[in-house]
Structure 1
Amino acid sequence: MSQTQQHPQYPPFQPPQQPQQQIARNGLGTAALILGIIGALSGLIPIMFWLAGVLGVVALILGLTGRGRAKRGEATNKGVALAGVILAVLSLGLAAFGAYTTFKAVGDAVDEINKSVSDTKAKDTKTSGDAKDKGTSDSGTGEKSDEKPDAGKALEAGDSVVYDDDLTVTVSNAVAYSPSEFAAGHTKGNHAYKVTVTVTNDSKEKFDSTLLTADARAGKDGVDAEQVFDEKVGTGFDGTILPGKKATVVYAFDTPAAAKNLTVEVTPSFEYDATQWDLKL
């Protein structure tokens, strides 16, 4: 009788398992380095201080976070993150310096402009401390008078004022005016009067007439005389006046019915002193 020999059973062969490798999270450190470089380069231009500051703050946050990952073994670019942090700090320093330089330059420019305007006014002011104009007047004959008018007294209708740069302003007498039905600035029961303002440019440079303003007060109480606007009056001066040329504009003002005089004040621009004319109504 034969016996059947049985062989032991072995489990199938399995290769040893390799430990799973963790993927390095290097993105924050790399981003910190890139933003730090851009921020530092932007900081080299003072006027770009704002961009350097923003990028510096972002790069600093990303760089510190990237270094934290590297310390925990989640990233392998600890040096890159450190470089990003250093460049971020450099960007912030350049941003602070650029802001100081920019604001200081703007402040110096404003001070220089104010000083220039003040010097111009001081140079053109009369030695007596009166208005800037020479004060030569014109009684309507077309010839300039050598007599200087009293700075505390308004000019009369038809008189002219000649400024130091030979810019001449003349205001005519006040003439009754009937505003149109759709006129603005006219109150029912009031009287409207029109005056003609003529600017003659005898200087060597063109004059920007758009800055000229004309205002008025009426009566012994000096109430504001509102300017009237309709299709005929109220447009004001426009454009420039070339040397040797003149421009004329008609203004209309609304006055109380009982007003006996109209004081018109004309200012050619902020570089000139205002001059007043006292017109009889």
Structure 2
Amino acid sequence: MSDQPDSPVPHNPWAPPADVPPQAGPAAGTSDGADTDPPLPPLAPGTDRYADGFLYGHQGPPPGGPYPPPPGGAYPPPPYEQFPGAGGGYPGYPGYPMGPYGGWTPSPRNGYGLTALVLGIVGAVLSVMCFFAVLGVPLGIAAIVFGIVGRRIAKRGESTNPGQALAGLILGVVATVLSAAMLVVIGVSVGNGWLDEGDGMRVPDQGRYGSPLSVGETAKYDGGLQVTVADVRDPGPAQAPKSTEGSDSAMKFTVTLKNTGSRTENLDYADVSAYADEAGDNPLKDISGQDGFSGQLAPGAERSLDFIVVVPDPSTDSVEVDVSPGDSYDYAYWDLPVPVPAD
């Protein structure tokens, strides 16, 4: 095997220059010693002669140095580093990202999805409320529309909240369906009279607060139930209470309930109260010894009870009596004169 000469090492123009001992005489690259730089001092080992902007007063590296001057004597700047999909930048710094509109990235259009979610929530809540169910339909439809638009915008990449748009769309459907169902139920109820307060109204409008009935008059209800307060009298010395001053008095009256309708009435929630004050805040004490009406009242039957109430103020000339035959009935009112105690 014959010896081959070593291949020459390619010249690297970017490698730092090797330390060369200074030489006396004319500077390299000149024909004589005129206008030459002074001799350079020796460098410490490892020192780059051209670091920190070409030391020792040189305006550029000598011919054949690490940066060979091009024709014209100008040194080109280092090439820009290019990055895929971006503009040019300085070495070590990536370029700015390019948006869909030439470098400007618009704000996401999240308003449609958020509006759909809010409308859907409000519509779903109102849809289960009897008096506000009518508002659930338009709110639900609006939530559906905004949800569909928001989903389309998200698919085009112009918004970042597709989940909110989908949730608003679903809630809009729920609100619309529930509201429509509630309105149907209300309509059927009104048609069948389920919401009619017929059992709680007097026919005609008798014995209202502020315009009471008189002794012996009857309040009539739609279901056929009738209430009469009559026979107002002094209970007598045996039943009339006496305070230490002897100023208390009492009055006795009879309440009669009659069922003229076709169904049995429950009297467990019937209420009888008497008041001597105009505001009706303090009911008079009942000393009759019975607990009031209770049980069932069959069609065609009637029941009467006597009530004795204490009247503390002897100057009271009338007492208001309120009677409700059940929890589904309105109160009827009577104005009863306080009888004069017998001697």
TM over 0.5: no
Interval containing the TM-score (normalised by the shorter chain): 0.3 to 0.5
More strand per residue = 1
Computing the radius of gyration over CA atoms, which structure comes out larger, 1 or 2? 2
Q: Comparing both chains, which one has the higher relative contact order based on Cα–Cα distances under 8 Å and sequence gaps of 6 or more?
A: 1
- Please, what TM-score do these two structures have when normalized by structure 2? 0.37
